[in-house]
Chains A and B, each alone.
Chain A
């Protein structure tokens, strides 16, 4: 018993070998399907293009106005035009602000002065969510964050909007 080492029995050796070979084959078989399945997660999004929304900066007032435009959307093999909307106004510092109308509570669509009881606020009809004129959510109403702001740019006096981003990131 002096040369007692950690002996691997024949059975163990066979088990390890078969598990190893089997695992290798299974991995080889599954790697491509799995890579294909997770492709949407790893794909870089093509979003970020700015679209001319057809609004001259001269027409932007201190009163938020709703603008609608369409963008070309490529969804896999399907290309289509989809509608976008924004509430645009000029704030007290004379800066242009464009809010996404998507409520930060559960994604309904908000309107400026959408409720007679709440003047000078954005109003969401689904659960009475409210936001002040600067997009900040009214405390005590369902939304927990201010309205998203569109990435914006002015070219030749026209307003161009990109993707909506949470406040502070636009």
Chain B
């Protein structure tokens, strides 16, 4: 049945070469853990992406209950945690996944760094990776405020004051982030929500696409 549907589509638009291009490629021996167990270090990039997928999925579902408004944000999160079946688990996935992403990303970066895999001709991909790292930190920073509890509020207060330390444009940068020069409040929350669920994920997808296209074009760097 599935085969028939696939054939029907393939007959018309010839999709086989497309997914062959994506999925069918050599895995060199030195990155295959079946040959050298130590090659598991090559998994960290893929694992980072896997956790990112979890973050996207759980985040999409969380927005079914979350309200980015200072009156209701905490209440909606509390409702989700205490009244909705499996709500605690889904928020748990997003909460812990956020930390796991950073850990995996760091391990991936360390692997690339210590193997010297960033060297010519792969410098561009390293730069894109660094941008991804910044976007991830941004996602962590903006997501932290959303539950609108004490910890979130004061962490953001501190984060905004760090932004204020930027020379020359600090004050403007803080206002831009918080939506107000002095208040961390209603406008800050909606801004952080918008940045967290639209702007940064958009940037992340674009950067990830470039990251993956480059690794496919350039191949995995040779063995040490």
Contact = CB atoms under 8 A, between A and B. Distances in A.
Given A33-B61, A36-B61, A37-B64, A77 B86 contact: no
Given A37-B61, A77-B78, A32 B86 contact: yes
Contact of A76 (B58, B76, B86, B93): B76
B76 A36 contact: no
A53 B166 CA distance: 63
Nearest to B89: A32
B75 interface: yes
B61 A77 contact: no
A36 B86 CA distance: 5
Interface in A71-112: 76-78
Interface in A24-47: 29-33, 35-37, 39, 42
B79 A32 contact: no
Contacts of A31: 86
B124 interface: no
B76 A77 contact: yes
Contact of A78 (B54, B72, B80, B90): B72
The B contact surface, by secondary structure, is: helix
A77 B89 contact: no
Interface string B50-69: 00001001101100110100
B79 A33 contact: no
Interface string B90-120: 1001000000000000000000000000000
B54 A35 contact: no
Interface residues of B, number: 22
A35 B80 CA distance: 12
A35 B58 CA distance: 12
Given A29-B57, A33-B57, A36-B61, A77 B75 contact: yes
A49 B58 CA distance: 36
A39 B85 contact: yes
A interface residue count range (under 10 / 10 to 19 / 20 to 34 / 35 or more): 10 to 19
Given A29-B54, A30-B57, A77-B72, A36 B78 contact: no
Interface in A1-60: 29-33, 35-37, 39, 42
B84 interface: yes
Contacts of B65: 36, 76
Contacts of B201: none
A77 B89 CA distance: 19
Given A39-B84, A39-B85, A39-B86, A33 B76 contact: no
A36 B79 contact: no
A37 B66 CA distance: 12
A45 to B, nearest CB: 14
A37 B61 CA distance: 7
B45 interface: no
A29 B86 CA distance: 12
A78 B65 CA distance: 12
A32 B75 contact: no
Greatest chain B CB density within 10 A among A29, A36, A37 is at A36
Contacts of B87: 36, 39
Contacts of A29: 54, 57
20 contacts: A29-B57, A30-B57, A32-B86, A32-B89, A33-B58, A33-B61, A33-B86, A35-B86, A36-B61, A36-B64, A36-B90, A37-B64, A39-B85, A39-B86, A42-B85, A76-B76, A76-B79, A76-B83, A77-B75, A77-B78
Given A31-B86, A36-B87, 9 more contacts: A30-B57, A32-B86, A32-B89, A36-B61, A36-B89, A37-B64, A76-B76, A76-B79, A77-B79
Interface of A: 29-33, 35-37, 39, 42, 76-78
